[in-house]
Amino acid sequence: MNNVFTAITNIAKVIDKRVFKNYDEFVIPNDLTQTNLNIQEFCDKIAREEFKSVPSIKAIVTQDDKKTEVLNEDGQYIVSFISIDNIDLLDLGFSVGSIFGVYDKEIEGHSLVAASYVTYGPTFQLVYATQDLGVEFYAFDGDKFIDIKPFKLDNKGKINSTDGDVATFDVKHKELIQSLFDEGYRLRISNSLSLDMHQILFKRGGLYSSPKTSKDPNGTFDLVFEAYPIAYIIELAGGEAIDGINNISDLKIDGDISKKTPIYFGSKYEIGKVKQS
């Protein structure tokens, strides 16, 4: 798994250098859609080339096309990859990230053996999680990623991050969110899943919620590319991730790599409130 970690750090460094420090190279004037497409294609190409150099990686599947591409026939792992988490924020100069999931032989929640996300922008940092290491936090020193400390959540946090169109929330979810505000929780939402995850880890607790709504009854987040990796990390940090009732890691994709889910993740106190609501 050391080679997998090295590949992820190499991909992150190229994306930071080429996309975030030289964004103008990708810009097509007056065509943000094509600009974003150019960036996605570049990032996917970098990931493909880097992971192909790791013999243990059998295949890669990107959020952009959701097709499994075999890289090494004799490999063991399948890597899911989000190049830029919410690329629509990129031209605004906001912090965004990449998300990786490393699956053993098949793509299911309990097949994850590692997960990682990277934050770009003002803070270039990386979180990498495995059963052996726990949740490790790395900061970039201008040359390499330095291991700073492991992340562990407290039982109760102070952050209340809720995503979605408030007008489509049901009464139960509105009451849950209001109850947290009534307890003194602070609203923190960036609209980038990796950054919102990073906030909860960095502040050692809280709740992120993206419920099912009248508009999106199946939720809005990709189970494979977003929910599984985030759940893996949060659970290793001592928290929980559920779809409102069930553990995210227990959900099955049933052959549908595009399957969506609602998601609630955070420290145990807040998830307990979700289960009781």
The pLDDT confidence band at residue 94, using thresholds 50, 70 and 90, is low
The two structure tokens encoding residue 51: 């992971």
pLDDT at 91: 61
The two structure tokens encoding residue 230: 């985030």
Beta bridge partners of 136: 128, 150
Domains and CATH numbers, the chain: 2-150 (3.30.540.10), 159-276 (3.40.190.80)
* Whether 62 contacts 83, CB under 8 Å: yes
The residue among 24, 71, 72, 25 whose CA lies nearest residue 44 is 71
Q: What are phi and psi of 11, to 5 degrees?
A: -60, -45
pTM of the model: 0.94
CA–centroid distance for 175 within its chain: 27
The pLDDT confidence band at residue 92, using thresholds 50, 70 and 90, is low
* 3-state SS class at 262: coil
Summarize the chain as % helix, strand, coil (round to 5). Answer: 40, 25, 35
d(CA 11, CA 14): 5
d(CA 257, CA 102): 15
* 3-state SS class at 101: strand
The residue among 252, 202, 236, 198 whose CA lies nearest residue 115 is 236
- From residue 240, alpha-carbon distances to 69, 196, 264 in Å are 31, 15, 8
The pLDDT confidence band at residue 113, using thresholds 50, 70 and 90, is very high
* 3-state SS class at 97: strand
CA atoms within 13 A on the CB side of 61: 19
Average predicted confidence (pLDDT) for the chain: 92
Question: Cα angle at 108 between 4 and 190, to 5 degrees?
Answer: 75
Mean pLDDT of 159-171: 90
